[in-house]
Chain A
């Protein structure tokens, strides 16, 4: 980023560039997303797709 902004952010945060932060909320949200993705995939592949008539076998 431009130098002027680096300076600006420094004053804003008191130079706290090294501060630690644990994004536990993000991990939770994305974990929920992961579970939804897996369940939806299993449903669409094994129920919707393989359960249909006229599966192409050759």
Chain B
């Protein structure tokens, strides 16, 4: 089969590009340590999340030195707790599940973004920086009121977090 020399050159460049793209993503995973939301949590009975120790009372909890867990429930059409209040300069693991249909959980303008599927728990860990306020949107269509489904993530100073009793309510 005859292939023109220029096209061979382009074929080689294309393969280099493809390998470079895969390489960049791999670098992101091992260098800055970007991890994918995956199957780290086992399934949950979506109809019975009110009996689940984590989600019967959605909240933020301290689980270690400067480490916090947030248990978040998405439902038609909102998030609980709202706002989610976490301390600045800490490591926060969000566990998000759905009471009804598929939702999205996106902290607008940041990299924190995950699908929320009923029966599954999405687990993502982030590191907070300075105190600030973020909006949370549901970015997967979830029914006729989808566009009113929003929440808030408040990153507050350590002292303010303690004043609130360490909880988000």
Contact = CB atoms under 8 A, between A and B. Distances in A.
A56 B10 contact: no
Interface stretch (B33-41, B44-52, B58-66): B33-41
B125 A41 contact: no
B6 A56 contact: no
A22 B32 contact: no
B111 A54 contact: yes
A4 interface: no
B148 interface: no
A interface bracket (residues with beta carbon within 8 Å of B):
20 to 34
B165 interface: no
A54 B126 contact: yes
Nearest to B124: A56
Contact of B6 (A24, A34, A45): A24
B24 interface: yes
A57 B36 CA distance: 8
B10 A55 contact: no
Nearest to B33: A57
B140 to A, nearest CB: 18
Contacts of A49: 28, 111
A6 interface: no
A27 B24 contact: no
Interface of A: 22-24, 26-27, 30, 34, 37-38, 41, 45, 49-50, 52-58
Interface of B: 4, 6-7, 9-10, 13, 17, 20-21, 24, 28, 32-37, 91, 93, 107, 109-112, 123-129, 132, 134
Q: Which 3 pairs, one residue from A and one from B, show the smallest C-beta to C-beta distance?
A: A58-B125, A54-B110, A54-B112
